[in-house]
Amino acid sequence: MTPVVLVHGGGFAASCWDLLVDHLDGPVLAVDLPGRGAHPAPLDSVTLAAVAASVVADVDAAGFDRVVLVGHSLAGCSMPATMGLLGARVRHAVFVAATVPEHGSSAFDTLEPEIQAHARAAAETAAPARLSAEMAKVMFGNDLDDEQFAWCMERMVPEAPMLTLEPVDLSPLRTAGPRTWVRPLLDAIVHPVKQARFAENVKPCAMVDIDAAHMCMISKPRELAAIINGIAAGA
């Protein structure tokens, strides 16, 4: 079983994967990106390149010579850089409800106007704040019950502004390698139609649908784990 590396999305840390980890069959590493958890850093200093370098350093420290790289949501912006650094060690890349803008554009460019307004305000704040419960419920909580949503909110953290604003470099995706897109069909923040467009930036890419919303690792951990286990078993 190829080891699985889990890369969280915006506003979270490695702990967002906790419910999923127990359902994975092989070795697994859930990483903290810079600015949170095991990797404290000033949030305004965190770039996509810093994220990729941090993930690779954690993979090296774990001793993994091959991995299934799984990125959720905003991690779609750093996944290409991470894949470029890891090269052939990435046996399969999995994009879960991810944002993968066109080459040279940013995650911010893909947002709806009201979400852009929130992101712009956060970027202009000296001390980035955790997303409010009201906004989080709309963006992330539409299929979470009260207990699951409280669990989700406990694990939310402020986000590094540049990860949303920095243009992405999709050049590393021009290399060959198996890729799968896991598309939650109830996603309220990255609509399934938008995900299909993002997946075009990753192609060739298999599409697997899941009956869940954006935080599918919380609402449907067994189902998501089954998809990842199948990939890791064949990678």
Angle at 65 between CA 175 and CA 168, to 5 degrees: 40
Question: What dotted CATH number matches 4-234?
Answer: 3.40.50.1820
Domain map (residue ranges) of the chain: 4-234
pLDDT in tens, the chain (235 residues): 999 999 999 999 999 999 999 999 999 999 999 999 999 999 889 999 999 999 999 999 999 999 999 999 999 999 999 999 999 999 999 999 999 999 999 998 887 776 667 666 655 655 666 778 888 898 899 999 999 999 999 999 998 888 989 999 999 999 889 999 999 999 999 999 999 999 999 999 999 999 999 999 999 999 999 999 999 999 8
Question: Pairing mode, if any, of strands 179-184 and 206-210?
Answer: parallel
Model pTM greater than 0.85?
Answer: yes
